[in-house]
């Protein structure tokens, strides 16, 4: 694949610092991909603003305009299919994608999660980590399957938990690592370097670009 021909659709709901990291890594030449569209279920998501600033197409889909989750997911799928994206990246997208969507984009949806999965799936995960008393936490890039936060792990990064941490300080430390490993994981997919067997992801040498 020629550099920059690999098309990504990014799904967001919030401030979009991971989206920004993807944009910045494309701009500095370390990620050979193009963001075809940024889709949000929140009209005021700062992430949309970040995309517009860079001239990236944005689409807001209002969940209230659809009869249910299935119909919303179908609309989302239509937007992504219309742009023939090669990969769907969830970047702070706070809705659960239904099985129909996941099957349609099988093996082509990835997510970043702010814990070392399988520890602390779900929401408020930094607080979960603090309440449990773990000494290390981190973040995980994984393929998305039909179970929440449970798909094959692509990359993880570890950060220490300090005795003085609260959920915000821990989240900030984890976020720094998120911004490094998410674009890196995408680049590995662009380079076709991932092999999955029995849910285990292994890394190959670059075979095609």
Residues annotated as catalytic (active site), given as ranges: 113
Residue of the chain from 80, 178, 185, 186 that contacts ligand GAR (CB under 6 A) = 178
Residues 6+ apart with CB under 8 A from 186: 8, 22, 31, 33, 87, 89, 110
Size of the site for ligand GAR (CB under 6 A): 13
What does the per-residue mask of binding to ligand GAR show for 115-154, with x meaning CB under 6 A? ----------------------------------------
Residues 6+ apart with CB under 8 A from 29: none
Please choose, out of 11-19, 25-33, 36-44, 185-193, the segment that lies near ligand GAR by the rule CB under 6 A. Answer: 11-19
Q: Is 15 in the site for ligand GAR (CB under 6 A)?
A: yes
Eight-class DSSP state of 141: E
Please choose, out of 72-80, 98-106, 110-118, 152-160, the segment that lies near ligand GAR by the rule CB under 6 A. Answer: 110-118
Q: How many helices (H) and strands (E) does the chain have?
A: 6, 9
DSSP 3-state assignment of 200? Answer: strand
Residue of the chain from 175, 180, 192, 193 that contacts ligand GAR (CB under 6 A) = 175
Residue of the chain from 25, 48, 89, 92 that contacts ligand GAR (CB under 6 A) = 92
- Residue 67 CA: distances (Å) to CA of 63, 71, 81, 109, 145: 8, 6, 21, 24, 24
Please choose, out of 9-17, 33-41, 56-64, 198-206, the segment that lies near ligand GAR by the rule CB under 6 A. Answer: 9-17
Cis peptide before 137 (omega within 30 of 0): no
Structure token pair of residue 20: 């920004």
Kindly state the smallest distance separating residue 104's Cβ from ligand GAR, in Å: 20
Residues that bind ligand GAR (CB under 6 A): 14-18, 47, 91-92, 112-114, 175, 178
């Amino acid at each position: 694949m020629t550099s920059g021909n690999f098309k990504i659709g990014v799904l967001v709901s919030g401030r979009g610092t991971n989206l920004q990291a993807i944009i910045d890594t494309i701009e500095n030449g370390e990620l050979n991909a193009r963001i075809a569209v940024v889709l949000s279920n929140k009209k005021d998501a700062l992430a949309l603003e970040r995309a517009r600033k860079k001239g990236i197409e944005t689409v807001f889909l209002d969940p209230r305009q659809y009869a249910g989750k299935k119909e919303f997911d179908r609309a989302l799928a239509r937007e992504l299919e219309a742009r023939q994206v090669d990969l769907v990246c969830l970047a702070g997208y706070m809705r659960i994608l239904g099985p129909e969507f996941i099957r349609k984009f099988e093996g082509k949806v990835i997510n970043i999660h702010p814990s070392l999965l399988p520890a602390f799936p779900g929401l408020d995960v930094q607080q979960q980590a603090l309440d449990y008393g773990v000494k290390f936490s981190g973040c995980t890039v994984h393929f998305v399957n039909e179970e929440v936060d449970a798909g094959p792990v692509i990359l993880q990064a570890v950060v220490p938990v300090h005795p003085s941490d609260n959920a915000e300080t821990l989240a900030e430390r984890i976020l720094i690592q998120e911004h490094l490993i998410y674009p890196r994981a995408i680049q590995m997919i662009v380079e076709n370097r991932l092999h999955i067997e029995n849910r285990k992801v292994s890394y190959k040498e670059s075979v095609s670009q």
